[in-house]
């Protein structure tokens, strides 16, 4: 069952003010990270729409994934999350009435409505206040055109009720998924169980987060779905029975970002064990992005080791594929020896908070010179001074503040507890990393 600490809403959770620890010298640490949010979410959804039982080894236990588990359970699936290392999912006929709390999880709000359409009965969705502002309309419209009956708040937002009819006809549908790749992933993950499967055609400005879409396609194929993604911006899922399976969840590589960044900031070395040789996770791009910023990555059987060289350089990069890395890279950019331009990130204004505005505001407050563009951030480093750092209920804003705090004493986060969205152990892991004495090699 979902534990209350992991699923607590922002309003039911006390803010946890936290002054980020400053590193006394180079940090040398091995940091074992929890499972990937994106893989855990997909594995749970696929397990619930498969024909047999599934297991998830090393899943992520955090607010987003516990809400996913609870949502599926509310619709009738048996989801056993009691064992930290092995979750067991037994699919059952999906049913309403049910009520799903999406929290602030994009994965829950975009992946579960298509599943709810398969339930026999109404399923209501709502979440944190900010969840009501995140883009949902293209998914609601697409499901409507696939024959699903949905009542949503004006403008196509949460709260909403999906009046599941026990089956979905499916077929071809166009969608503008430029605001989130999750709108497409959600349709695809449930589609093999639609009578006619689905053909999703994106029309509009580019869809962000290509690696996340590739993860959706690969994980669908791994449970036996026929998926054709050979035409750009078109994804077809054949109707068919999906097989339950045993999933090994990789460590969360996007969650690795602040820890690896710490190696650059302090001129130390941080190792993340279990870094996969090949992966669809967006966070794997950290190897290349952080080496452009001055780090030296080594991938070995020990995992990924990022070494700082003592220098942090600015970064000019299109982050549209890996936009969830933006907050940490922006924090690092504020400490760099040259300006940065983080481009292609307009859609992150619809993430947990408007991340472009939030980063511009908080980095400026600490003394950086930041120019905010509709879809980019320009960061010109200047000497920073500690002070208040608002986290906006956004785990990755907290990561950014922690990274700056390594070098700037007195960076006072308004709430580090928001990291429970994807890594409840973040404050403990961070403090342990910063306090580890340097080891001479």
Residue ranges for the known binding site for phosphoenolpyruvate are 37, 106, 134, 182, 355, 396, 421
Is 208 an interacting residue with respect to ligand S3P (CB under 6 A)? yes
The one among 81, 181, 193, 271 contacting ligand S3P by CB under 6 A? 181
Tokens (6 digits) for 214? 């590739």
Maximal C-alpha separation, the chain: 64
Sign of CA dihedral 229, 41, 348, 365: negative
Distances (CA, A) of 318 to 260, 365, 377: 20, 25, 11
Distance in Å, CB of 76 to ligand PEP, minimum: 24
Is 6 an interacting residue with respect to ligand PEP (CB under 6 A)? no
Is 107 an interacting residue with respect to ligand PEP (CB under 6 A)? yes
Distance in Å, CB of 9 to ligand S3P, minimum: 19
Considering CB distances under 5 to 8 angstroms, the limit depending on partner class, which of ligand S3P, ligand PEP, none binds residue 105? ligand PEP
Is 320 an interacting residue with respect to ligand S3P (CB under 6 A)? no
Distance in Å, CB of 135 to ligand S3P, minimum: 8
Cα separation of 335 and 311, whole Å? Answer: 10
Cα separation of 332 and 254, whole Å? Answer: 15
Is 61 an interacting residue with respect to ligand PEP (CB under 6 A)? no
Site for ligand PEP in 409-428 (CB under 6 A): 422
Dump the DSSP string for 269-295.
EEEETT--SS---GGGGHHHHHHHTT-
The one among 271, 323, 340, 420 contacting ligand S3P by CB under 6 A? 323
Exposed/middle/buried for residue 87 (C-beta within 10 Å: 0-12, 13-18, 19+): buried
Q: If we measure between CA atoms, which residue out of 53, 69, 46 comes closest to residue 188?
A: 46
Active-site annotation holder among 288, 292, 324, 390: 324
Cα separation of 312 and 315, whole Å? Answer: 9
- Is 440 catalytic? The answer is no
Q: If we measure between CA atoms, which residue out of 304, 280, 307, 285 comes closest to residue 294?
A: 307
The one among 396, 399, 411, 415 contacting ligand PEP by CB under 6 A? 396
CB nearer to ligand PEP: pick between 134 and 202: 134
Considering CB distances under 5 to 8 angstroms, the limit depending on partner class, which of ligand S3P, ligand PEP, none binds residue 73? none
Residue given tokens 């696929």 in the structure block: 46
Cα separation of 420 and 319, whole Å? Answer: 24
CB nearer to ligand S3P: pick between 39 and 336: 39
Considering CB distances under 5 to 8 angstroms, the limit depending on partner class, which of ligand S3P, ligand PEP, none binds residue 181? ligand S3P
Annotated binding-site ranges: 37-38, 42, 106, 134, 180-182, 209, 324, 351, 355, 396, 421
Annotated binding-site ranges for 3-phosphoshikimate: 37-38, 42, 180-182, 209, 324, 351
- Nearest residue (beta carbon) to ligand PEP: 106
Contact (Cβ atoms closer than 8 angstroms) between residue 61 and residue 128: no
Dump the DSSP string for 219-272.
HHHHTT--EE--STTEEEE---PPPP-EEEPPB-TTTTHHHHHHHHHHT-EEEE
Is 397 an interacting residue with respect to ligand PEP (CB under 6 A)? no
Cβ partners under 8 Å of residue 267, min gap 6: 26, 308, 309, 310
Binding mask 316-355 for ligand PEP (x = CB under 6 A): --------x--------------------------xx---
Cis preceding-peptide flag for 97 (omega within 30 of 0): yes
Q: Which residues are catalytic?
A: 324
Q: Which residues bind ligand S3P (CB under 6 A)?
A: 38, 41, 106-107, 180-182, 185, 208-209, 212, 323-324, 347
Q: Which residues bind ligand PEP (CB under 6 A)?
A: 105-107, 324, 351-352, 396, 422
């Amino acid at each position: 069952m979902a534990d209350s600490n992991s699923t607590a809403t922002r309003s039911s959770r006390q803010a946890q003010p936290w002054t980020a620890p400053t590193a006394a010298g180079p940090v040398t640490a091995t940091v074992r990270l929890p499972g990937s949010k994106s893989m855990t979410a997909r594995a749970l959804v696929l397990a619930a729409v498969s024909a047999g039982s599934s297991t998830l080894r090393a899943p992520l236990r955090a607010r987003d994934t516990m809400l996913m588990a609870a949502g599926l359970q509310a619709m009738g699936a048996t989801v056993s999350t009691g064992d930290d290392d092995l979750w067991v999912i037994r699919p059952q006929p999906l049913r309403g009435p049910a009520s799903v709390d999406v929290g602030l999880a994009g994965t829950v709000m975009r992946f579960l409505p298509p599943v709810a359409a398969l339930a026999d009965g109404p399923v209501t969705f709502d979440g944190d206040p900010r969840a009501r502002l995140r883009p949902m309309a293209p998914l609601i419209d697409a499901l409507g055109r696939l024959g699903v009956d949905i009542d949503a708040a004006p403008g196509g937002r949460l709260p909403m009720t999906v009046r599941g009819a026990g089956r979905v006809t499916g077929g071809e549908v166009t969608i503008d998924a430029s605001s989130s790749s999750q709108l497409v992933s959600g349709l695809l993950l449930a589609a093999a169980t639609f009578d006619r499967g689905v053909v999703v055609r994106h029309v509009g400005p580019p869809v962000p987060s290509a690696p996340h879409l590739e993860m959706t396609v690969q994980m669908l194929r791994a449970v036996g779905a026929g998926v054709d993604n050979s035409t750009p911006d078109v994804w077809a899922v054949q109707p068919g029975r999906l097989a339950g399976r045993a999933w090994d969840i990789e460590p969360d590589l996007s969650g690795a970002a602040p820890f690896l960044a710490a190696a650059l900031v302090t001129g130390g070395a941080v190792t993340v064990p279990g870094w996969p040789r090949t992966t669809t996770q967006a966070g794997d791009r950290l190897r290349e992005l952080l080496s452009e910023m001055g780090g030296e990555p080594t991938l070995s059987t020990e995992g990924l080791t990022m070494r700082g060289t003592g220098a942090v350089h600015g970064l000019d990069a299109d982050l549209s594929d890996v936009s969830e890395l933006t907050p940490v890279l922006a924090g690092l950019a504020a400490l760099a020896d040259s300006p940065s331009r983080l481009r292609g990130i307009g859609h992150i204004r619809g993430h947990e908070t408007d991340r472009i505005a939030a980063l511009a505001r908080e980095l400026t407050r600490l003394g950086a010179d930041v120019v905010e563009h509709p879809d980019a951030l320009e960061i010109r480093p200047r000497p920073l001074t500690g002070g208040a750092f608002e986290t906006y209920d956004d785990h990755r804003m907290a990561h950014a503040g922690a990274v700056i705090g390594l070098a700037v004493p007195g960076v006072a986060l308004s709430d580090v507890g928001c990291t429970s969205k994807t890594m409840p152990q973040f404050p403990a892991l961070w403090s342990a990393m910063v306090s580890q004495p340097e080891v001479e090699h």
